[in-house]
Amino acid sequence: MTIDVVELGVAEAQRAMARGELAARELTQAYLDRIAALDRAGPRLNAVIETSTTALVDADALDAERARGRVRGPLHGIPVLVKDNVDVVGMVNSAGSLALAEHRPRCDAFLVARLRDAGAIVLGKTNLSEWANFRSKHSTSGWSSRGGQTRNAYVLDRNPCGSSSGTATAIAASLATVGVGTETDGSIICPASIGGLVGLKPTVGLVSRAGIIPIAISQDTAGPMGRTVADVAALMNVLAASDDDDPAGAVARAHVAVDYNACLDANALGGARLGIARRQLGFNAAVDAAIDRAVAALRAAGADVLDVEFATYGRWREAEAEVLAYEFKHGLNAYLANAGIRPGSLEELIAWNDAHRERAMPWFGQDRFVVAQAKGPLTDRAYLDARANARRLAGEEGLFAVLDAHGLDALIGPANGPAWLTDPLAGHQFSGGGASAAAVAGSPSITVPMGDAHGLPLGLALLGRPYSEPRLIALAHAFEQATRARTSPRFLPHLDTD
């Protein structure tokens, strides 16, 4: 039986399985075949770093459960790809680094255990920007020493952004139904928008970080990536859960009992109040034009869109950099020690990279690692002040102040510029946009396709208050339904500029 999985959504696949027209094994095999045809051959997307050796066995078991009348929920039998910085039993967790190429975790990450309990099939791991783009300021998004360079599914010589590059390209190319990415600042929003996807960066702590190779406990989170808001909501229903082993889990406990599928209101923009800070614009004419069209569509759907001033915009960056350096050293040392592996600390990792420089660092170095290694404990006054300043400038005096001053449901803006050419010598060339304020403030953001620039997808970002995921999902869904802006990738070798 030939199954067309291109653009296949969670609900559509679930209905087909309920009618007996599709089995989890057939669906899983179809994705594995597509990975072989598009990721390993054909355009060679290089998005999936490893596939599960038990995926088909897991699918058979879930099909048997369904035959006995047991269906665990909307993800029963749905294949999911997970970023290669999340612990999955039976697969390597390397953060894309050759130094961890033999690290096979003893336990699933909290979120992976949730996926399995919900009946999802962990199809494989996705490539990423090595160490989630934290090894060097000169890194190339989508490149790792273990996985190589992930390509952009829309135009192959363009960059997929990062650090959740492999998840974005894989889901854009329909190599799985949905995927899991992680973000510290932009690592879900940027690749999702450049990949023509919906990506949700949750409130910090709403999705457990236990079993994820860390950057910064103040900002890290995992989140769903999908081709539609409905698919993201379905995955979020499983990912959102209070975990006592997560430092922010106790605070999140009151906010996890939400049915995100119930938030899919096509009329949610009626009466909504949205703000746009024009200082986010002006870096690209095509982005400005797309935002103008998006604002017109929002207003046509009943939203009130206001121009607002964001006085502290970008002023948190220096403090954020200090926080990330301190927390990376502390968090990584704890993760490596708990895993019981070598390299067993950031100091040992730096030495390993130096000793294997030709293979591990052919394009860029480890300057961020060196800066982080020089930092002291999390009791240092420099760290405590930086953490307070970053949160204040991005949150209380920044995003939250703007939302409160105008009674806004969300702040909107461009999630990205057009994808740039991948160039390992030039490194990351991010041009503008993003949702950094929400990342630093620890609050949620979502990106939804709003159009393209000569075939390169552009996303509309919506930023909200902590735990406002239900409202952001509703607004994003209504915009998606009003515009239908997403197009499938065509795997073009390059832009035709003639």
Average pLDDT in the 167-189 region?
Answer: 98
Q: Does residue 1 have a pLDDT over 60?
A: no
Segment 305-358, tens digit of pLDDT: 999 999 999 999 999 999 999 999 999 999 999 999 999 999 999 999 999 999
Backbone angles phi, psi at 449, to 5 degrees: -55, 135
Q: Does residue 206 have a pLDDT over 60?
A: yes
| Helix or strand run (H / E) with residue 120 | none
Task: For residue 164, give the nearest of 220, 103, 233 by alpha carbon.
Answer: 220
- Answer whether residue 279 is part of any domain: yes
- Answer whether residue 497 is part of any domain: no
| Helix or strand run (H / E) with residue 468 | none
Kindly provide the residue ranges of all beta strands, DSSP E only, lying in 316-423, ordered along the sequence.
410-414
Cis peptide upstream of residue 436 (ω within 30 degrees of 0): no
- Answer whether residue 488 is part of any domain: no
How high does pLDDT run on average in the chain?
97
The conformational region for residue 484 under phi > 0 = left, psi -120 to 50 = alpha, else beta, is: left
Segment 238-253, tens digit of pLDDT: 999 999 999 999 999 9
Q: Does residue 26 have a pLDDT over 80?
A: yes
- Answer whether residue 498 is part of any domain: no
Question: What CATH number should be reported for the domain holding residue 48?
Answer: 3.90.1300.10
Q: Can you give the pLDDT at residue 47?
A: 99
Task: For residue 459, give the nearest of 213, 168, 170 by alpha carbon.
Answer: 168
- Answer whether residue 251 is part of any domain: yes
Task: Note down the domain range covering 71.
Answer: 10-483
Segment 98-114, tens digit of pLDDT: 999 999 999 999 999 99
Burial annotation 142-180 (CB, 10 A radius, 16+ → b, else e):
bbbbbbebbbbbbbbebbbbbbbbbbbbbbbbbbbbbbb
Say whether 32 sits in a helix, a strand or coil.
Answer: helix
Segment 114-140, tens digit of pLDDT: 999 999 999 999 999 999 999 999 999
- Answer whether residue 492 is part of any domain: no
Segment 432-460, tens digit of pLDDT: 887 899 999 999 999 999 999 999 999 99
Return the percentage of the chain with pLDDT > 70, whole number: 99
Q: Can you give the pLDDT at residue 433?
A: 83
- Answer whether residue 496 is part of any domain: no
Q: Other C-beta atoms within 10 Å of 198: how many?
A: 29
Per-residue pLDDT band for 85 (boundaries 50, 70, 90) equals very high
Does this model's pTM top 0.75? My answer is yes
Contacts of residue 340, Cβ cutoff 8 Å, sequence gap at least 6: none
- Answer whether residue 443 is part of any domain: yes
Contacts of residue 326, Cβ cutoff 8 Å, sequence gap at least 6: 372, 375, 376, 378, 380, 382, 383, 386
Q: Can you give the pLDDT at residue 290?
A: 97
Q: Decide: 387 and 218 in contact? Cβ < 8 Å.
A: yes
Split into its structural domains, the chain has a count of 1
Per-residue pLDDT band for 3 (boundaries 50, 70, 90) equals confident
Q: Other C-beta atoms within 10 Å of 340: how many?
A: 9
Task: For residue 156, give the nearest of 42, 32, 48, 287 by alpha carbon.
Answer: 42
Per-residue pLDDT band for 370 (boundaries 50, 70, 90) equals very high
Question: Which residues are known catalytic residues?
Answer: 83, 163, 187
| Helix or strand run (H / E) with residue 401 | helix 400-406
Segment 391-434, tens digit of pLDDT: 999 999 999 999 999 999 999 999 999 999 999 998 888 888 87
Average pLDDT in the 472-487 region?
Answer: 98
Q: Decide: 278 and 272 in contact? Cβ < 8 Å.
A: no
Q: Can you give the pLDDT at residue 294?
A: 98
Alpha-carbon gap, residue 333 to 69, rounded angstroms: 46
Q: Can you give the pLDDT at residue 295?
A: 98
Q: Can you give the pLDDT at residue 278?
A: 92
Contacts of residue 395, Cβ cutoff 8 Å, sequence gap at least 6: 437, 440, 441, 442, 443
Alpha-carbon gap, residue 99 to 349, rounded angstroms: 7
Alpha-carbon gap, residue 112 to 121, rounded angstroms: 10
Average pLDDT in the 186-196 region?
Answer: 98
Say whether 126 sits in a helix, a strand or coil.
Answer: strand
